[in-house]
Amino acid sequence: MTTQAIAKPKRKLLSPLNQRRWRNFNRNRRAVWSLWIFSTLFILSLFAEFIANDKPILVSYRGELRMPIMTFYSERDFGGDFPTEAVYGDVEVKCLIATGGLEDCFDDPDGLLEMVESGGKPDIDGFAKGWTIWPPIPYSYNTIVDVRGVAPAPPSDTNILGTDDTKRDVAARIIYGFRLSILFAGMVTIGSSLIGILAGAVQGYFGGWTDLIFQRFIEIWTGMPSLYVIIIVFAIVGRSFWLLVFLTILFGWPALVGLVRAEFLRARNFEYVRAAKALGVSDRTIMFRHMLPNAMVATVTMLPFLVTGAIGGLASLDFLGFGLPSSAPSLGELTLQAKQNLQAPWLGFTAFTTFAVMLSLLVFIFEGVRDAFDPRKTFS
Amino acid sequence: MTALLDVQKLNVRFRQDGETTHAVRAVSFQVHKGETVAIVGESGSGKSVTALSTVQLLGDSAHVDGSIKYNGTQMVDAPEADLRRVRGNDISFIFQEPMTSLNPLHTLEKQLAESIELHQGLRGTAVTNKIVQLLNQVGIRDAESRLGAYPHQLSGGQRQRVMIAMALANDPELLIADEPTTALDVTIQAQILDLLAELKQSKGMSLLFITHDLTIVRKIADRVCVMKSGEIVETGPTAEIFSNPQHPYTQMLLAAESTGTPLPVPADAPIVLETDAVKIWFPIHRGLLKRTAGHIKAVNNATLTVRAGETVGVVGESGSGKTTLALAIMRLIRSEGAITFQGKEIHALNQKQMRPLRNAMQIVFQDPYGSLSPRMTVAQIIAEGLSIHEIDPTRDRREMVAEIMAEVGLDPALMDRYPHEFSGGQRQRIAIARAMILRPKLLVLDEPTSALDMTVQVQIVELLRDLQQKYKLAYLFISHDLKVVRALSHKVMVMKQGDVVEAGDADAIFDAPQTDYTRALMAAAFEGRTI
């Protein structure tokens, strides 16, 4: 037998175990479809600024290409009067862009604009034809829609899902609200699972007094009425997204501790852990190299509850009016408006459909993940 | 004569991940009334699957075809209601693991009453009387007072007796025993086998006995079926098979016995390990202030010396403190009393101070399935200690791993596989390689062969002997298997409930045991009889 060193094979992306899990996940068609739909929606929502915005994506002004989404342009940059940011929805600004900044836009913007758009060429010095590319929905989540009628306005050509009670476009708010919910849930889940896993690992691995003291601390900590704390802190320092993320993690991390602790308590007496101790491996290495990978299965099974719980938590805070600032695109706030404006059913239907689709997709995906991790489940 | 159980051309296939595993191939055998048939084979030979398939107790992933006739009734594809009537009533089961086959939350009375009420329709005191009678029958002393006992209050042997009582509750015609004594100590094993033989006699039951232990087969069976990779390779009356085996596999099984004697140790070999009256007591705390009310005396006054190239065997039944002693010597648990390793007192060192010494003392555990981390490749597992102890830091790690794998008889090309791809014997070789790569002076072997098949056991014993000779290793060999201990040990220490009852040269102890306990152990281990 050769004792020559065997060349290390190229490391595969997934270990055989994970390959099996991936295969198992792929067998669950519903989960796979849900994953695709959800990923598409989420990635689209990440580019929400290009889908729903009150600034054009691209403007050609006097032959020069400008991206108002990315950069600040004042009205003066388009030949107007104000040093403030150009209001691209105004007919004057539209006219200025289309004509290359003609003074005449302040006299008869509608007429000029119509003429240019129908292919005409006004006989005025300094005319340079410009154009604008708008996002599919020309409103951002906080744009006040300037149309006639009472708010909330029903769905129409300009607002496909209607407007809410401050005349903001519901479709735009849904897109931004979906992104915000998912990002919030993602950050809270990642943050609280990192802390929770670490705390559970330490408790379970060392046991004894460490465990005892930590357990009592967690009991006191979880006894704290977190909702009140959030409301009080918001009242003192003011509302903000990042503060809410911080506070939710602060009170959310004990969710995973019990589970990870139990897994580590179980694993600390396994023979391979003993063998590692006999080799002289340090505690930290044993915890993270030997025990954590085996505790991950139980943890992954628990994650969906954290994700959906975080989405629900954010929505309920907003619904109660104690969540994000009221200008923020929040699905919970939309639900609250739906309750307050029962004469405007499109608000309720939209909020319900969004929540139902989002949470169902997540549940289907995680159901597939859980089954794929289950070593006893067989897929024929 | 028609057979009670007639199995013809039985095939069992398991499907997982789209792959089909053919576990049992065209197996045919009969069990007649009042007969004991043993199915013998090594792990993975399909013997348990065959037994479970008789009453369709396999999971959903199993596909059974062929014919299984019980008393002339076809069992394959029989309706679930018919099967339930047969299970537990006409055919009873005893499983291997007495620790998990009783519900820990039910008392003995409740466990036993369930099946009696279900199948016999008895109620009230009639049930209790029947239970007491059954418990007396299986030899549980003072049965009436034990009715309220929970499984954890019983010893392993007693639990297995309760399992047998449960199996006998409805006077079955056929008892299927799946390795019923494997998890038990040798002396208790012998008692249970006596009990089964006696019950079979008095009730005229048939017995289908599944085991890997040929000593048991020789003692209990009328006929033997030898199974290998899902097929019956040889079948015949017990005496005939043992005296004149036809199939090469049967011959190999019969020949597989750890033999040979340890190689002599030079008189001037240096002392590697010395312990002086090691004591491991676990305190029992009681009351509000957690006063120490007493101690569980796991090990009392264990004194031993191991020299380079020498093997000291520690034998005893479960609960005798063998493993605890090993863990204390490895400094993985606390103990009192001096432990001197290579002239250095180590019993007072903390984990950090121990770390530089760890490469010289290594341990191999019993369970080759539990002692290797399932998420690491073999190369990672074996090389883990190298970086901690900085052994030959300039050499290529993979080269060193390949070298040691070749030395313990593994193909180095397999080093990037995961443990689950290896058999039990190969895994034990990996565990040995992990210890040996650090070039230890002392190797503590905690039942390294117990979980392995006989043929594999022989190979591991040979490997250990070769390594000892080559590296002048000192072994502390812990086992309940006296045959293996005899093949390897120079000195033997017999432990019982924490006390050392006898210690001395191996030959002296095996040839002329001084205490009753040692004599009982030997009789059970070598001849399978009780004293």
Q: Is B367 on the interface with A (CB under 8 A)?
A: yes
For chain A positions 290-309, those within 8 Å of chain B (CB to CB) are 290, 293-294
Query: With an 8 Å Cβ cutoff, are A281 and B415 in contact?
Result: no
What is the rounded CA–CA span in Å between residue A226 and residue B247? 74
What is the rounded CA–CA span in Å between residue A280 and residue A223? 40
Range B140-144, long-range pairs (CB < 8 A, 24+ positions): B140/B165
Q: What number is the average pLDDT over the span B357-369?
A: 85
Structure-derived torsion over alpha carbons of residues A225, A231, A237, A243, reported in degrees to the nearest 10 = 70
List chain A residues with CB under 8 Å of B403: 3
* pLDDT score at A245: 92
Q: Is B388 on the interface with A (CB under 8 A)?
A: yes
Query: With an 8 Å Cβ cutoff, are B374 and A294 in contact?
Result: yes
- Nearest by CB to residue B396, choosing from A5, A15, A379, is A5
* pLDDT score at A187: 93
Q: What is the pTM of this model?
A: 0.74
- Return the residue in A279, A281, A291, A378 with the most chain B beta carbons within 10 A, the one to mutate for interface testing: A279
For chain B positions 303-332, those within 8 Å of chain A (CB to CB) are 327, 330, 332
For chain B positions 411-450, those within 8 Å of chain A (CB to CB) are 411-413, 415-416, 418, 431, 434, 438
Closest chain A residue by Cα to residue B420: A17
- Nearest by CB to residue A279, choosing from B365, B384, B415, is B384
Structure-derived torsion over alpha carbons of residues B319, B321, B323, B328, reported in degrees to the nearest 10 = 150
* pLDDT score at A195: 93
pLDDT category of residue A9 using cuts at 50, 70 and 90: low
Question: 3-class DSSP state for residue B93?
Answer: strand
List chain A residues with CB under 8 Å of B371: 271-272, 274-275
Classify residue B385 as exposed, middle or buried by CB count within 10 Å of its CB (0-12, 13-18, 19+): buried
* pLDDT score at A39: 94
Q: What number is the average pLDDT over the span A211-230?
A: 90
**Which strands, in side-by-side order, build the sheet including B62-70?**
B19-31, B5-16, B62-70, B73-74
Pairing, β B73-74 against β B19-31? unpaired
- Nearest by CB to residue B362, choosing from A5, A16, A278, is A278
Q: Is the dihedral of CA B112, B114, B116, B117 positive or negative?
A: positive
Better-scored residue on pLDDT, A2 or A370: A370
Compute the nearest-CA separation of A343 from chain B (Å). 54
Closest chain A residue by Cα to residue B415: A6
* pLDDT score at A1: 41
- Report pLDDT digits (tens) over A187-207: 999 999 999 999 999 998 888
CATH 3.40.50.300 residue window(s) in chain B = 271-525
- Report pLDDT digits (tens) over A264-303: 888 887 888 888 888 888 888 888 888 888 788 778 888 8
- Report pLDDT digits (tens) over A327-360: 888 888 889 989 998 888 889 999 999 999 999 9
Q: Is B365 on the interface with A (CB under 8 A)?
A: yes
| Angle, vertex CA B478, rays to CA B477 and CA B483, nearest 5 | 85
What is the rounded CA–CA span in Å between residue B277 and residue B294? 20
Query: With an 8 Å Cβ cutoff, are A290 and B373 in contact?
Result: yes
Q: Is B396 on the interface with A (CB under 8 A)?
A: yes
- In contact, B207 and B36? CB cutoff 8 Å: yes
> Percentage of chain A surpassing pLDDT 70?
94
- Return the residue in A1, A21, A269, A373 with the most chain B beta carbons within 10 A, the one to mutate for interface testing: A1
Amino acid, single-letter form, for residue A127? F
All domains of chain A, ordered by start, with CATH?
58-133 (no CATH), 170-377 (1.10.3720.10)
pLDDT(B479) > 90? no
Query: With an 8 Å Cβ cutoff, are B330 and A279 in contact?
Result: no
CA dist B281 to A327, B296, B381, B444, Å?
67, 6, 33, 21
Q: CATH code for B271-525?
A: 3.40.50.300
CB contact set of B499 (below 8 Å; sequence gap of 6+): B300, B301
Compute the nearest-CA separation of B160 from chain A (Å). 26
Q: Is the dihedral of CA A133, A137, A138, A141 positive or negative?
A: negative
What is the rounded CA–CA span in Å between residue B357 and residue B66? 60
pLDDT category of residue A221 using cuts at 50, 70 and 90: very high
Q: Nearest Cα to B497, choosing from B315, B297, B337?
A: B297
- Nearest by CB to residue B330, choosing from A278, A294, A380, is A278
Q: Is A4 on the interface with B (CB under 8 A)?
A: yes
Compute the nearest-CA separation of B434 from chain A (Å). 9
pLDDT category of residue B531 using cuts at 50, 70 and 90: low
Q: Go through chain A and tell me how many residues it has.
A: 380
For residue B393, say if its preceding peptide bond is cis, omega within 30 degrees of 0. Answer: no
CA dist B88 to A93, A144, B92, B121, B129, Å?
88, 76, 5, 14, 20
Better-scored residue on pLDDT, B204 or B18: B204
Place of tokens 């101790």: A277
* pLDDT score at B138: 80
Range A59-67, long-range pairs (CB < 8 A, 24+ positions): A59/A88, A59/A97, A59/A130, A59/A131, A59/A132, A59/A133, A60/A130, A60/A131, A60/A132, A61/A97, A61/A100, A61/A101, A61/A130, A62/A100, A62/A101, A62/A128, A62/A130, A63/A128
Q: Which structure tokens are listed for B346?
A: 């180590």
Least confident span in A50-59, A228-237, B280-289, B316-325: B280-289
CB contact set of B36 (below 8 Å; sequence gap of 6+): B200, B206, B207, B208, B209, B220, B221, B222, B223
Query: With an 8 Å Cβ cutoff, are A6 and B412 in contact?
Result: yes
Q: What values do phi and psi take at B491, rounded to 5?
A: -125, 155
What is the rounded CA–CA span in Å between residue A264 and residue B133? 45
- A-B interface: how many C-beta pairs under 8 angstroms? 104
- In contact, B247 and B261? CB cutoff 8 Å: no
Amino acid, single-letter form, for residue B474? A
Share the mean pLDDT of chain B.
Answer: 84
Place of tokens 């590319």: A133
Amino acid, single-letter form, for residue B470? K
Q: Which structure tokens are listed for B101?
A: 């086959």
Compute the nearest-CA separation of B330 from chain A (Å). 7
List chain A residues with CB under 8 Å of B391: none
> Percentage of chain A surpassing pLDDT 90?
21
List chain B residues with CB under 8 Å of A279: 358, 362, 384-385, 388, 434, 438
Q: Which structure tokens are listed for A262?
A: 């139990």
Compute the nearest-CA separation of A196 from chain B (Å). 22
What is the rounded CA–CA span in Å between residue B176 and residue B168? 11
Q: Nearest Cα to B456, choosing from B423, B433, B413?
A: B423
Query: With an 8 Å Cβ cutoff, are B402 and A379 in contact?
Result: no
For chain A positions 242-281, those within 8 Å of chain B (CB to CB) are 270-272, 274-281
Amino acid, single-letter form, for residue A352? F
List chain B residues with CB under 8 Å of A6: 398, 402, 412-413, 415-416
- Nearest by CB to residue B385, choosing from A8, A274, A280, is A280
Helix then strand count (H, E) for chain B reads 19, 20
Q: Is A380 on the interface with B (CB under 8 A)?
A: yes
| Angle, vertex CA B345, rays to CA B357 and CA B388, nearest 5 | 10
List chain A residues with CB under 8 Å of B448: none
Query: With an 8 Å Cβ cutoff, are B18 and A380 in contact?
Result: yes
Residue B296 CA to its chain's centroid (Å): 25
* pLDDT score at A282: 84
User: What is the value of ipTM here, to two decimals?
Assistant: 0.72
List chain B residues with CB under 8 Å of A20: 17
Q: DSSP assignment, residue B101?
A: S
- Report pLDDT digits (tens) over B209-227: 888 888 888 888 899 999 8
Query: With an 8 Å Cβ cutoff, are B411 and A270 in contact?
Result: no
List chain B residues with CB under 8 Å of A373: none
Place of tokens 């989960």: A31
3-state SS, one letter per residue, for B189-229? HHHHHHHHHHHHHHHCCEEEEEECCHHHHHHHCCEEEEEEC
- Nearest by CB to residue B332, choosing from A3, A274, A293, is A274
Query: With an 8 Å Cβ cutoff, are A380 and B15 in contact?
Result: yes
- In contact, A344 and A154? CB cutoff 8 Å: yes
Q: Is B17 on the interface with A (CB under 8 A)?
A: yes
- Report pLDDT digits (tens) over A148-183: 788 788 888 888 888 888 888 889 999 999 999 999
Compute the nearest-CA separation of A155 from chain B (Å). 50
pLDDT(A3) > 60? no
Helix (H) or strand (E) holding B104: none
Closest chain A residue by Cα to residue B18: A380
Q: What values do phi and psi take at B313, rounded to 5?
A: -90, 135
Query: With an 8 Å Cβ cutoff, are B371 and A271 in contact?
Result: yes
Helix (H) or strand (E) holding A331: helix A331-340
Q: What number is the average pLDDT over the span B427-431?
A: 89
What is the rounded CA–CA span in Å between residue A172 and residue B480? 74
What is the rounded CA–CA span in Å between residue A58 and residue B106? 75
* pLDDT score at A246: 92
* pLDDT score at A353: 93
List chain B residues with CB under 8 Å of A270: 370
pLDDT(A22) > 60? yes
Hey, how many other C-beta atoms are within 10 angstroms of the C-beta on A70? 9
List chain A residues with CB under 8 Å of B356: 280
- Nearest by CB to residue A4, choosing from B17, B330, B402, is B402
- Report pLDDT digits (tens) over B85-105: 787 778 888 887 766 778 888
pLDDT(B348) > 50? yes
* pLDDT score at A8: 58
Question: 3-class DSSP state for residue A13?
Answer: coil
Q: Is A17 on the interface with B (CB under 8 A)?
A: yes
